[in-house]
Amino acid sequence: MQQITLTQPDDWHLHVRTGEMLKTVINHTARQFGRAIIMPNLQPPVTNVSQALSYQQEIQQATSGQYNFTPLMVLYLTNTTTVNDVQQAADSTAVHAFKLYPAGATTNSAQGVTDLNAVFPVFAAMEKLDVPLLVHGEVTDPEIDIFDRERIFIEQKLSTIHQHFPNLRIVLEHVTTREAVQFVQQTPGNIAATITPQHLLYNRNALLVGGIKPHYYCLPILKRETHREALVSAATSGNPKFFLGTDSAPHLSHLKENSCGCAGCYSAYAAIELYTEAFDKAGALDKLEGFASFYGADFYQLPRNTRRITLEKTAWQVPEYYPVADKTRLVPLKAGETLHWKLQA
């Protein structure tokens, strides 16, 4: 197959930052996707509807009306989130979910939840008002091996949340393990998962073999090949509980390439091309449209897009970097390498 046409997809997990970085990255997403779920882990985080509306306006101004793109806002769940915050989110047409970051789990998560039991009243309100919970599923105990943190979170935390709030809509974001896939498959339809392009394309060798490659470092971290294979199987299965979420996370190159080693891969520049490459390698291009364009919209109870996009099988070289303000750089996933699918203008 040399060409594929899809219903315009959506990105159900995206970081776009603010300021100059936002201006650099937002149109990479907007040229491909009709909508995107915007992560709230700014500094300070987006914790209420008023802040979400302000952030949404900043994003819309950055796109300058060049594309027909809608940012879907999310509120950052903290220890002090209230039932009233949930009610206001439910009443807002801009806010579509709350995000649970275990404190210290990833970038800008220091203000995340430290005690799940303390926010049970918030979960109860979310379940009653049908507001989805988006979960970064990793424990933060330093004694737990980093490659086991998703599995342990599911066993100790997520299973408990689901047991107490069986009707709460939950998205286990950026799943990385066979155990996460199995959990989602075995639970009811109100539990879903997003899968990133890097976790479909790479195992942990890409990060570690031949020296540490910081631009392949993300959280949850890349896992063994057996886990990657489980993710590919889930994504290409046609199961509507699995859908596209890039977790594209831009960081300036000097912050990635130092002792900090900020977590996050920048994939938004060519997200749909990366997914198409993964599905093509799996011999499952016929399953891409459901995964990319239908299942996420259905889960979020939003209409499917009506516009169409076309990709052509043609080789092109990924830029070494994208310039940001003040001579700083953003290095994309697969910088300097060749992609074999390209979105038509």
> What are the boundaries of each domain within the chain?
9-309
Binding residues for Zn(2+): 13, 15, 99, 136, 174, 247
Strand-pair category, 338-343 with 308-317: antiparallel
pTM for the full model?
0.96
Confidence band, pLDDT 50/70/90 cuts, at residue 30: very high
User: What is the pLDDT confidence band of residue 326, given thresholds at 50, 70 and 90?
Assistant: confident
Can you tell me the distance from the alpha carbon of 200 to that of 293, in angstroms, rounded to the nearest whole number? 17
The CA-atom distances, in angstroms, between 142 and each of 110, 259, 286 are 15, 18, 42
| Diameter of the chain measured on Cα atoms | 53
CATH architecture of the domain with range 9-309? Alpha-Beta Barrel (3.20)
The pLDDT of residue 180: 98
Average pLDDT over residues 113-125: 94
Which of the residues 115, 141, 247, 280 is marked catalytic? 247
Cα separations (Å) of 31 from 138, 145, 241?
A: 32, 39, 26
Output the known binding site.
13, 15-17, 41, 99, 136, 174, 219, 247, 251, 263
Neighbours of 226 (CB within 10 A): 10
Segment 193-211 shows an average pLDDT of 97
CA–centroid distance for 102 within its chain: 16
**Residues annotated in the binding site for substrate, as ranges?**
15-17, 41, 136, 219, 251, 263
**Interval 36-73: pLDDT, tens:** 999 999 999 999 999 999 999 999 999 977 899 999 99
Reply yes or no on whether 247 is catalytic.
yes
Contact 8, 307 (CB under 8 A): yes
